Amino acid sequence: MLTSANKLKLAVFGFNGGAAFTNHPDRYVPTWESNVRIAQMADRLGIEGAISASRWKAFGRDGHYSGDLFETFTWAAGIAASTKRLCVMSTVHLSVIHPIIAARASATVDLISKGRHGLNLVCGWYPDEMGMFGSEMGDHEDRYALAEEWVPLFDRLWKEEQSFDFSGKFYNLKKAIIQPKSPFPRPVLMNAGGSERGREFAANNVDVAFIVPQDPRPEALKKQVDFYRTFAREKYGKEIKVWMSCYVVQRNSVQEARDYVQDYVVNHGDEEGLDSFISNNIGNAKNVPEGAMQQMRFAIAAGYGGYPLLGTAEDISSTLSSISDAGVEGVLLTWLDYEGGLKNFGDTVLPLLEQAGLRVPAEPLPV
């Protein structure tokens, strides 16, 4: 569960689809069987979460592998039934999933998992995937305004025993209710708003915010984390948890790891998928300082825009320690090869994180 006592919490991210843009032969293939194996391995290792990514349409062209990504509520139901203690998170595009559908599906996954469901709320940024639903995507402000209406509705549907009416700018509900209810508290909510508007939304509405480090040096990262937390506390009286996303390449040295990333991102690069991702994401890319664009492009190809964890188990554990020292409470992990990568991480990095006092060894799974 995300509420474990570990100082640095961990989650495997995006294995319902895959996190890298590459044509390298090691690229992960998301079959249902591989999803279950990864989730069960993470569960055994005591990793706190399994977090899906959500996408409705491939980048580049129809049939491109970036569209092969399991739908996130049905995925969560299957993963919940296959695991014992992981928090299973569905990423949800708020504008296309009505709060009644989301609350009902979430209560169902929560009943299957006995209170282990969570939601990563996203507002959408890819016009073609939103266009498939027959509506314009709306501007950035409107998307977050919809999100501000969506969350309290989800909350009320989760908790209230009596049906209720609601009339707002985006939703008009008559005698709304969901049954069966989950007896557990409202699922943990996450969001990765990178803009100021996104930060406002996250600070006011969710439990966990993902940040993208603007400057990876430890003191700059600490400043960014402190700023987020203080902002949520002072403006909304909320205690928000701050997490970030990392891609892992574990090799015999940092140089070997760098060479491998260079090989899959550049030598076996998928310019078609990457160009499409970047050109569609240009609204978000505007927030990126001049010169950082190439770096962002590389990180997106390498592992969903995450921060690099490269080198030996010692290198990776030491980078995670400095991330934790900066105040980050949890890290999402991706690999090019999730299965081999997670196994290696479990065998060699987790024991070092335990020695460093960031985690305790996993208890055996309950039977």
Ligand X SMILES: Cc1cc2nc3c(=O)[nH]c(=O)nc-3n(C[C@H](O)[C@H](O)[C@H](O)COP(=O)(O)O)c2cc1C
Where along the sequence are the contacts to ligand X (CB under 6 A)? 53-55, 91, 122-125, 192-195, 197-198, 210, 212, 245, 284, 332
Q: Select 281 or 348, whichever has its Cβ closest to ligand X.
A: 281
Residue type (1 letter), 280: N
Minimal distance, residue 166 CB to ligand X, in Å: 25
Token pair in block for residue 357: 């006092």
Q: For residues 153 and 168, give the distance between their C-alpha atoms in angstroms, rounded to a whole number.
A: 10
Contact 213, 245 (CB under 8 A): no
Minimal distance, residue 173 CB to ligand X, in Å: 25
C-alpha dihedral, 220 to 225 to 231 to 237, nearest 10°: -160
Could you tell me which of 99, 77, 214, 88 has the C-alpha nearest to residue 160?
Answer: 99
Token pair in block for residue 169: 């700018």
Minimal distance, residue 290 CB to ligand X, in Å: 18
Sign of CA dihedral 82, 87, 93, 99: positive
Q: Select 48 or 352, whichever has its Cβ closest to ligand X.
A: 48
Minimal distance, residue 314 CB to ligand X, in Å: 26
Q: How far is CA 241 from the centre of its chain?
A: 14
Q: Select 43 or 129, whichever has its Cβ closest to ligand X.
A: 129
Q: Select 86 or 202, whichever has its Cβ closest to ligand X.
A: 202
Q: For residues 117 and 72, give the distance between their C-alpha atoms in angstroms, rounded to a whole number.
A: 11
Q: Select 54 or 276, whichever has its Cβ closest to ligand X.
A: 54
Minimal distance, residue 11 CB to ligand X, in Å: 10
Taking CB positions, which residue lies at the least distance from ligand X? 198
